[in-house]
Amino acid sequence: MKVIENTTDRLLLRKIPWIMGSLFVAIMVIVANALWRSIQTDGWQAEGVMSLTITLCSIMVAVVVFIRYDELVLDRKYGTIQFRHISVFQRKSEELDLSLLESASIQTHYGQADSVRSYRLVLILKDHPDRDSRTHPTKDIRPPNPVYSTGKDAKMTAEIINTWLN
**What are 107's strand-pairing partners?**
120
First-to-last alpha carbon distance for the chain, in angstroms, is 20
pLDDT tens by residue, 80-112: 999 998 887 788 999 999 999 999 999 988 877
pLDDT the model gives residue 65:
72
pLDDT the model gives residue 37:
77
DSSP 149: B
pLDDT the model gives residue 45:
67
How many other C-beta atoms lie within 10 A of the C-beta of residue 95? 13
Residues found in the chain: 166
Report CA-CA distances (Å) from 12 to 38, 69, 161: 47, 13, 10
User: Is-contact 108 88, C-beta < 8 A?
Assistant: no
Residues of the chain where predicted confidence (pLDDT) is lower than 50: none
